[in-house]
């Protein structure tokens, strides 16, 4: 996978970002937007961008704790969308809100006439010698088509897998989606802890049952190398800069992360299964702009959508590794 793009500033308080993802012999537009700094604390953004899903989803792929983000983000279809947003940041307060249509590619289909409203609030003061993070978000999406359907599912810990052992299949008669998220984190020295939850309610027409699905994760991480800490900036995790980089008298930064991840896709007659993931990641950052991640996950399924023989309760093991650099 290759991300190619550019960002910068323009006279008059404007800025821009253009980026495309080259993967699997395909090209996908990711961030394509124009910004305007209306005041010192207020930034306006127009274009394709991420609605304000939460802490990990808004953190760059370059700086996440694991190769893949949490299962509920993948299952509930967190994606970039075309729209207009505003972000207000003053001291420890961050407020974000926007109105969006679908992603740029989907808008090539005339039937893609839905819209959404998304908002997020974060309180991020310094606390007891560390960085505290408390946030919440709310999301409402109107599909605007009574014949619409949705499907929620996720691969087993690594995105390169083709199999979704947990999936709702197609849910018909969907009119809207309403999501609520909570996020909590604390960073101090080499240690960090983080967790998020998300509820996804499916609104349907004609008196059909309306399920509410749930997901969440909790993780803890620790740098095994002295003087290193996880980066944090503007309500998201940021770049780790090794205290002793490789080639300059050290071996870089080495971090161990442990995570428990839960996803429940069973409600109101929909049986997509439940998933419990126990993950460990070893992250080596030899220099500011190079990174290696080794992941292992033990994924336990109950009432799985895909049966293993006569069983719908079983476990899957997944191992993955990623090497990356950016410039």
**pTM of the entire structure?**
0.95
Residues sharing a CB contact under 8 Å with residue 28, sequence separation 6 or more, in sequence order: 20, 21, 105
Among 304, 321, 305, 323, which residue's Cα sits nearest to residue 313? 304
In this predicted structure, what is the pLDDT of residue 28? 85
Query: Phi, psi (5° rounding) for residue 71?
Result: -65, -35
The C-alpha atoms of residue 31 and residue 94 are separated, in whole angstroms, by: 21
Q: Dump pLDDT digits (tens) for 180-210.
A: 999 999 999 999 999 999 999 999 999 999 9
CA-CA-CA-CA dihedral for 301, 305, 308, 310, to nearest 10 = 110
Among 314, 56, 9, which residue's Cα sits nearest to residue 195? 56
As given in the structure block, the two tokens for residue 53 are 């899903």
Model confidence at 146, in pLDDT bands (50, 70, 90)? Answer: low
The C-alpha atoms of residue 151 and residue 139 are separated, in whole angstroms, by: 17
Phi-psi region of 273 (alpha: psi -120 to 50; beta: other; left: phi over 0): left
Share of the chain above pLDDT 70, in %: 99
- Residues 187 and 131 sit within 8 Å (Cβ to Cβ): yes
Rounded to an integer, the average pLDDT of 131-157 is 91
| Residue with tokens 């620790």, as numbered in its chain | 222
Most confident among 110-119, 136-145, 154-163, 285-294 (mean pLDDT): 285-294
Q: Dump pLDDT digits (tens) for 24-76.
A: 778 888 999 999 999 999 999 999 999 999 999 999 999 999 999 999 999 99
Number of H helices and E strands in the chain, helices first, is 2, 20
Classify strands 130-142 and 231-233 as parallel, antiparallel or unpaired.
Answer: unpaired
Rounded to an integer, the average pLDDT of 94-102 is 96
Model confidence at 147, in pLDDT bands (50, 70, 90)? Answer: low
Q: Dump pLDDT digits (tens) for 259-311.
A: 999 999 999 999 999 999 999 999 999 999 999 999 999 999 999 988 877 78
The C-alpha atoms of residue 32 and residue 100 are separated, in whole angstroms, by: 14
Asked whether residue 78 carries a pLDDT value surpassing 70, the answer given is: yes
C-beta atoms surrounding 300 within 10 Å: 14
Q: Dump pLDDT digits (tens) for 211-269.
A: 999 999 999 999 999 999 999 999 999 999 999 999 998 999 999 999 999 999 999 99
Share of the chain above pLDDT 90, in %: 84
Q: How far is CA 306 from CA 12, 18, 161, 309, in A?
A: 55, 39, 14, 9
- Residues 276 and 259 sit within 8 Å (Cβ to Cβ): no
**Over the chain, what is the mean pLDDT?**
94
In this predicted structure, what is the pLDDT of residue 170? 95
3-state secondary structure of 50: coil
């Amino acid at each position: 996978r290759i991300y190619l793009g550019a960002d910068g500033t323009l006279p008059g308080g404007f800025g821009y970002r253009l980026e495309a993802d080259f993967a699997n012999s395909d090209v996908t537009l990711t961030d394509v937007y124009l910004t305007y700094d209306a005041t010192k604390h207020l930034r306006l953004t127009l274009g394709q961008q991420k609605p304000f899903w939460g802490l990990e989803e808004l953190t760059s792929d370059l700086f996440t704790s694991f190769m893949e983000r949490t299962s509920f983000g993948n299952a509930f279809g967190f994606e970039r969308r075309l729209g207009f947003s505003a972000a207000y940041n003053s001291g420890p307060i961050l407020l974000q809100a926007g109105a969006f249509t679908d992603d740029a590619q989907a808008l090539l289909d005339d039937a893609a006439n839905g819209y959404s409203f998304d908002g997020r609030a974060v309180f991020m003061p310094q606390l007891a010698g560390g960085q505290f993070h408390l946030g919440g978000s709310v999301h409402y999406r109107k599909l605007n088509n009574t014949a619409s359907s949705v499907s929620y599912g996720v691969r087993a810990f690594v995105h390169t897998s083709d199999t979704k052992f947990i999936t709702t299949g197609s849910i018909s008669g969907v009119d809207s989606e309403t999501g609520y998220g909570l996020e909590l984190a604390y960073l101090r020295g080499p240690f960090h802890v983080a967790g998020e939850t998300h509820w996804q309610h499916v609104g349907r027409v004609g008196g059909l049952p309306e399920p509410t699905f749930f997901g969440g994760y909790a993780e803890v991480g620790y740098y095994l190398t002295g003087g290193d800490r996880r980066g944090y900036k503007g309500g998201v995790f940021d770049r780790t800069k090794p205290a002793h980089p490789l080639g300059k008298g050290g071996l870089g930064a080495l971090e161990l992360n442990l995570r428990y991840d839960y996803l429940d896709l069973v409600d109101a007659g929909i049986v997509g299964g439940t998933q419990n993931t126990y993950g460990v990641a070893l992250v080596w950052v030899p220099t500011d702009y190079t990174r290696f991640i080794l992941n292992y996950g033990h994924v336990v399924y109950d009432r799985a959508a895909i049966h293993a023989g006569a069983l719908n309760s079983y476990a899957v093991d997944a191992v993955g590794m990623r090497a990356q650099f950016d410039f």
